[in-house]
Every structure is written in C-alpha cells, then in structure tokens.
Amino acid sequence: MEHNPDEHNLKCPKCHHGMEVVVHDEIEIDRCTNCKGLWFDDDEAHRMRQIEKSELVDHGDPVEGWKFDSREDIDCPHCGKRMHKSYDAKQQHIWYEVCHEHGMFMDAGEFTDLKDESVLDWFRSLIKGNRDIVAP
C-alpha cells in the first residue's frame, strides 16, 4: 500500500510503502504493508523475542524478504539518517539495519529466524550438556 501519512505512522525504509501498526502482548511494532519488513523501536526486538508466539507478527514470505535484503542505503524512517548494517552476535547470517537512536529494521522472516534459532541454541546446549548420553 502506498505510504499515506494519514493512515501510516512510518514509511518503510526499504520499499517506501506504508507501515501498519501491529500489537503483540502490548508491544507495538510497525510492519510494512508491502515487503512485510518489521520496524522495532529501541529494545522492542529484544523484548519481543522473549514473548511466546511473537513470531506470528512476522508473517511475510521470507523469500520475498530476501529480495529486499540486498538493498543498500537504507535511511531511518524516523530521522532519515543512513542506517548501519549489523548482524546478530550469535547468528551471523542474520543481517538487519540499525539506527542507534531509533531502532532496527528486519526483513520478512528475519525475526522468525532469530527466534527459531534461540530455541535451536537452547537444544544444542541441552545436547552438549548431555554429551555422554546422546550418541555422536
């Protein structure tokens, strides 16, 4: 949906369509109506990660998301400053854009990936801890 200031809080930094507000467990995030990328203010991504079923907000098609992943030169939808590419310390294949003053932008599927992996990591640590019991 084309960005309309009356309807949308934010303009998607990647594809410049309008972003709609999505609420999950009292945390409000913005989701692009076109590429389904997600905008998280400040520490919202971190808070969202701890919440059960929060990956439901990330309902975009990851394949569509990847198309936008390669786009460079993303400006913060709040201040218009160039955003920095960053990656998750534990999962270095997940790249997202960060404005240190306002928040971060993730492509469709990235938040789910981030969340899934923490479950996997947890399983790994479990298996590691029981190395004697679990066959190689």
Q: Which residues bind Zn ion (CB under 5 A)?
A: 12, 14-15, 32, 34-35, 37, 76, 78-79, 99, 101-102
In what order do the strands lie in the sheet containing 103-106? 10-11, 18-24, 27-32, 38-41, 103-106, 95-99, 84-87
CA distance 80 to 128: 45
Nearer to Zn ion, 20 or 117 (CB): 20
Nearer to Zn ion, 94 or 99 (CB): 99
CA distance 57 to 28: 10
Nearer to Zn ion, 32 or 74 (CB): 32
